[in-house]
Structure 1
Amino acid sequence: MQMAKFFGNLNLVVGVGFALAIAVMLAFAPTLPVDVNSVFRWLHVFFGILWIGLLYYLNFVQVPTMPAIPAEQKGAITGHIAPKVFFYFRYAALLTVLTGLTIAWVNGYLVQALTFAGTGSIALIGVGMWLALVMAFNVWFIIWPAQKKILGIVEATAEEKAAAAPRALFASRTNTLLSIAMLYCMVSANLG
């Protein structure tokens, strides 16, 4: 297979990347456990990077740059790039939350973390979980409905689009704010 053809196919690259990760897991299986916990931790980190990476792309690059883009070129972003970004953004949020909840459930601290009944690392991961749940709520129930109007995916009047933009920005910037503390919780808790 030609290298250009291989690297030109994102689905193929990601599939081979996952196959490589599985091969690494299996190669180290005699010394490191490959179990539900380790697989879901790996997926949690993968989806979390995708989610927060897209959040930061939107807040640090796309949104601040849009006013400087000539009107005749904005359609390329709003019609082609942004819908794809928001697809991966919202499903990465969902899968990050689901894999995180699965990790807590498999390890027996889900209820303790969500109710702050635990101490130390469990309490810290509980804070991170609640921050992530608020952020995922914002993605699915504030940002995405507003963006569907802004991007013309659903019918909306000019007034509805204008009203949707500040809502989406507020929720997105709230997520950026919350993500900083949430990431601290995620990497510092170190629960087995």
Structure 2
Amino acid sequence: MVEMELSSDVDAVIENIGQLPPDVFAETCHEILLHLQGKSSAVDLVKNCHRFQIAGVNLDWKSVQDIIRLLSFNFRSAAKSKLTPELLITKLSKASCKWSKPALQVVHLLWIENGSLVQTHQETQAMLSIGQLVDIQWKLGMAVSSDTCRSLNSPYITILMKIADTYGEISYKSFEMTVLQFQNFFKQFKEMASVLETV
């Protein structure tokens, strides 16, 4: 697994967590745990920024993203190591002395309620190791000029896919295809949809 990428050091992120009221922190943790259980496709950064601002804690987007990444990383690591709530709190406390007692109590309570569900889902995800298609968009275009292409004035389709990976990070993939390729692509999607309706 790639090490967690934080814009600042871990202690600074934990100090930002300490600014959050326990109920707001619990809501964010709960949203992350739902994602790690496969019950939501991703953790909504905008929603969390707004939630923090309403609570009077003004953090920039990167700071909020760092909080989400740190918590996701720790919950995923705890699930992988099958940590009990007590061991998770011990591990967090040893990693940094900046954790506030209310924050640790929230983590402890939520891990009691959700730990085994996260462990089960993470084990399944590890076996599958696939993302989730969140959205797909397409548009028709026409090539009218090019320095290298000889077949101009032929239509093409541009596809944009929004994908949530197993860690909840959203990424976009785009590609182009001919109309014939797109028709085949569409036909395969229809076939998958009809098979899924029978399941």
Higher share in helix = 1
Query: Highest Rg: 1 or 2?
Result: 2
User: What TM-score results when the alignment is normalised by the length of structure 2?
Assistant: 0.27
Higher share in strand = 2
User: What TM-score results when the alignment is normalised by the length of structure 1?
Assistant: 0.28
